[in-house]
Structure 1
């Protein structure tokens, strides 16, 4: 039988309970500050540091809830008064809590310093010019280009297959028309990564239309030249010698 050692072990239950009570109270109180900061800063995530005579406090919040409150004294060392990991040691906690009222005062000063900061900000703004006319002109030009391109697509479909691409250089820039049946799929200017003057998705921007629409007739002429050259080539083929 083992005899008990003749030493008393002091229980830490009371100290731990007092520590946990302090941390819980701070978590609730500083949690209010965290929510107010989230509202003030306009986001669910962030942090703020407040300087006091004895050191500085950093409060971090996520989704508007307090994540940690850290005290770093000027003499060195830091204490996570509140954290999502482990509770602080009682002695560093006691040291930090001596400065906690100064932290709250620094937060209050921070908020009060913003009082009236927006008083002189104007809430009347210049009228916004409508783009309605520009968009209407853009859509009209694009629709005309689409109609002509559909005609080209129909011709290409008739003599060159159900689908494919037709490309020509206009002023040194590559223009490419893709057709699927008698309809144009896209008209792209500038090769891969270029500007889609026509597509199945969104319309081009008005500046792009302004820049490229003037070159579109040259693309149509390039297509016409291609057809005429093809016609001449085919006419030169003779089947007279075929047995």
Structure 2
């Protein structure tokens, strides 16, 4: 009788090598499908599931490469044929690869289902109206408002300091001018959520300019009244140096 300690131990190197070779080939082949899906879907990230008679295959891709390929047979446990971890065991891999051709055909049928889908889509479109004239007129009006705002800022700077805000109510709406030196930082109409007629970020939409521009003269008139009141107050101040 042969002592068990003297019996030969069967090696697994050949099986493991065969498994790794198959897994590498599947990864490469499935990677081509992943890249095609990324092109078809118009993005670098996504996943797609394909049904076969043997089960379902889910391919997840990222940056145009396969992240995993999972086979969920109709009977038995799911197998990650391709994954970021170790390759599957030989027997589950063998079961999955027996259905791999059906998975590829399901993918091909998926692609063929899009044949002709764009044939009747028009590739000629109506002419686009230019906004150049409207924008030019909007900018002309805003530039004029900015000139007025800067003139007001210069007066406020002279009397009230380097920076600050002047606010009044026009037609029941709050108008607020903020100045920094001789420059208007912003002119806001309607409180904190209102419209910035003047700002550092660019002009407001043309409809807002149209809606508010008519009240600019009233805003200026209120400011002038404010200046007149200040001048009257100053006139009443006396200083006797004796």
Please give the TM-score of this superposition, normalised by the length of structure 1: 0.92
- Tell me the residue number matched to 2:58: 58
Cα distance, 1:182 vs. partner? Answer: 1.8
SS in 2 for 1:43: coil
Structure 2, unaligned runs of 5 or more: none
Cα distance, 1:116 vs. partner? Answer: 0.7
Asked if 1:211 corresponds to 2:211, the answer is yes
- 98-107 vs 149-158, which deviates more? 149-158
Cα deviation digits, residues 191-210 of structure 1 (max 9, x gap)? 32432211123222212212
Aligned mates of 1:188, 1:27 — CA distance in 2 = 60
Cα distance, 1:179 vs. partner? Answer: 1.4
Asked if 1:172 corresponds to 2:172, the answer is yes
Aligned mates of 1:33, 1:161 — CA distance in 2 = 69
- Tell me the residue number matched to 1:74: 74
- Tell me the residue number matched to 2:222: 222
- Tell me the residue number matched to 1:30: 30
Cα distance, 1:137 vs. partner? Answer: 1.0
- Tell me the residue number matched to 2:92: 92
Cα distance, 1:118 vs. partner? Answer: 0.2
- Tell me the residue number matched to 1:154: 154
Please give the TM-score of this superposition, normalised by the length of structure 2: 0.92
- Tell me the residue number matched to 1:41: 41
Cα deviation digits, residues 104-127 of structure 1 (max 9, x gap)? 000000111101100000001111
Cα distance, 1:133 vs. partner? Answer: 1.0
Cα distance, 1:128 vs. partner? Answer: 0.7
Aligned mates of 2:193, 2:5 — CA distance in 1 = 83
Aligned mates of 1:235, 1:216 — CA distance in 2 = 29
Cα deviation digits, residues 69-105 of structure 1 (max 9, x gap)? 1101122421000111111011111111111011000
Residue 202 and residue 76 in structure 1: after superposition, are their counterparts in 2 closer, same or farther (change >3 A)?
Answer: farther
Cα distance, 1:228 vs. partner? Answer: 2.0
SS in 1 for 2:5: coil
- Tell me the residue number matched to 1:128: 128
Aligned mates of 1:47, 1:173 — CA distance in 2 = 54
- 218-227 vs 94-103, which deviates more? 218-227
What is the aligned-residue RMSD (CA, Å)? 1.9
Cα deviation digits, residues 47-89 of structure 1 (max 9, x gap)? 1111111111111111111111110112242100011111101
- Tell me the residue number matched to 2:137: 137
